[in-house]
Amino acid sequence: MAFGVYVHVPFCKRRCDYCAFATWTDRAHLIDAYLAAGRLQATRVAADMDQVTSVFVGGGTPTLVPPESLLDVLSPLPLAADAEVTIEANPDDVTPALAGVLVRGGVTRVSLGVQSMVPHVLGALGRTHDPANVRRAVELLRGAGVRGLNVDLIYGAAGESTTDWERTLVEALSLGPDHVSAYALTVEAGTPLYDDPARHPDDDDQADKYLLADRLLGGEGYDNYEISNWARPGHECRHNLLYWSQGEYIGLGCAAHSHRDGRRWWSVRTPERFIAAIEAGQPVEAGSEQLTAHDRELEVLQLQVRTSAGVPAESVAGEVAHLVQVGADGRARLTVEGRLLANEVAVRLRVPPLR
């Protein structure tokens, strides 16, 4: 049975203009204490944990902290022999030494935060890395033996033309990644992007860019298995699939979320509170919710409609039936146009009656 662990690293050198995650640029002095607390938390929860089939280390910028100490956080976990272990990486941080430590430490998959290969688009996003470092990072990671490589892309930034986006896609594909994630830029409250309406993305522009991405990626043999994710066959992110199938997982670190048996809970948001609670032997849970049986069934549909697995055809309301295609297996899957309106389909799904 699939079971996952998410590890949150809340440290960054600079916060991107669109980022609303629980990250901080002024807490580097807490890194050692935070990682030690993370390892202690992992030790405490490991005894009540199923065999872990996937781990995802995100943030923040996981490659900003000492890699040996970060991987030590994972050491108490009961990892399956074939566990997928993913770490997010900033291209500028990748060195031969870092790549070697990751591979020797059991990391099987690296997700590079590329976002764009066009300098002025990176500037509009508030990103600081050099596009030239992306190719260098890929060469170092592949050379060290990283088996799975994802590139994260974002489209819809202010000033990004369709030609800019196509350049990013073509250059990303030239890297030979196993997996590509392409996300529409979203505006979150409390971010510099939110406070600057002139930089807000245009829906029609983003729709055109999504269709371009799907065409180019599909033409190169990448299958769309979730609205924003494409992979070569056999290289789908197992941890992502765990989320989209309403699987069970434990979150380690501040602001991390967990889910087991229909119960969700989340940890205290700041690293200071997390460290203090762990060191004092106190719970780090900040809140929780328990889903009813009906809510769980409906949520499964709303998650799976986003994926290539689809949903039972009878769960799709008639007014959005034109946005799905029903296969011989009786499951409805979003058309390409349907993916652009996935939220409209999701809110109209209904739990099929028991037969």
The answer on 228 and 310 residing in a single domain is no
pLDDT confidence of residue 291: 93
Inside any domain, residue 47: yes
Q: What is the CATH number of the domain that holds 161?
A: 3.20.20.70
**pLDDT tens-place string over residues 154-176:** 999 999 999 999 999 999 999 99
* C-alpha span between 107 and 83 (Å, rounded): 9
The answer on 223 and 158 residing in a single domain is yes
Would the CA dihedral through 125, 30, 107, 250 be positive or negative?
Answer: negative
The answer on 321 and 227 residing in a single domain is no
Q: Name the 3-class secondary structure at 28.
A: helix
The answer on 194 and 62 residing in a single domain is yes
CB 222 within 8 A of CB 243: no
Please state, in angstroms and as integers, the Cα–Cα distance from residue 204 to each residue in 166, 243, 340, following that order.
16, 28, 10
Last residue of a domain, one of 204, 225, 243: 243
pLDDT confidence of residue 352: 81
pLDDT confidence of residue 355: 52
Last residue of a domain, one of 243, 263, 286: 243
The answer on 210 and 75 residing in a single domain is yes
pLDDT confidence of residue 127: 86
Overall domain count for the chain: 2
Inside any domain, residue 287: no
* C-alpha span between 244 and 238 (Å, rounded): 10
DSSP string, 223-247: EEEETTEEE-TT---HHHHHHHTT-
The answer on 133 and 25 residing in a single domain is yes
Inside any domain, residue 298: yes
The answer on 317 and 234 residing in a single domain is no
* C-alpha span between 80 and 71 (Å, rounded): 16
* C-alpha span between 42 and 73 (Å, rounded): 7
The answer on 154 and 299 residing in a single domain is no
Inside any domain, residue 281: no
* C-alpha span between 28 and 201 (Å, rounded): 32
DSSP bridge pairs for 258: 265
Inside any domain, residue 184: yes
Alpha-helical regions (H) of the chain: 31-46, 67-74, 96-104, 119-125, 131-144, 162-174, 203-219, 238-244, 271-279, 293-304, 336-340, 342-346
pLDDT confidence of residue 354: 60
The answer on 318 and 237 residing in a single domain is no
The answer on 337 and 203 residing in a single domain is no
pLDDT confidence of residue 70: 98
The answer on 227 and 298 residing in a single domain is no
The answer on 178 and 45 residing in a single domain is yes
List the domain range (segments joined by +) for residue 40. 3-243
Inside any domain, residue 257: no
Structure tokens at 322: 């034109």
DSSP bridge pairs for 294: none
Last residue of a domain, one of 243, 271, 306: 243
DSSP state of 184: E
Cβ neighbours, 10 Å, residue 143: 12
pTM of the predicted model as reported, rounded to 2 decimal places: 0.96
- Give 3-state DSSP helix, strand, coil % of the chain, rounded to 5: 40, 25, 35
Q: Cis check for the bond before 60: say yes or no (omega within 30 of 0).
A: yes
Inside any domain, residue 289: no
Please state, in angstroms and as integers, the Cα–Cα distance from residue 137 to each residue in 61, 110, 130, 144, 280, following that order.
15, 11, 11, 11, 40
| Half-sphere exposure in the Cβ direction for 39 (13 Å, CA) | 12
Inside any domain, residue 36: yes
Q: Which of 250, 229, 160 is nearest to 199 (CA)?
A: 160
Task: Give pLDDT < 50 ranges for the chain.
Answer: none
CB 178 within 8 A of CB 172: no
pLDDT confidence of residue 112: 97
* C-alpha span between 297 and 330 (Å, rounded): 18
Q: Name the 3-class secondary structure at 321.
A: helix
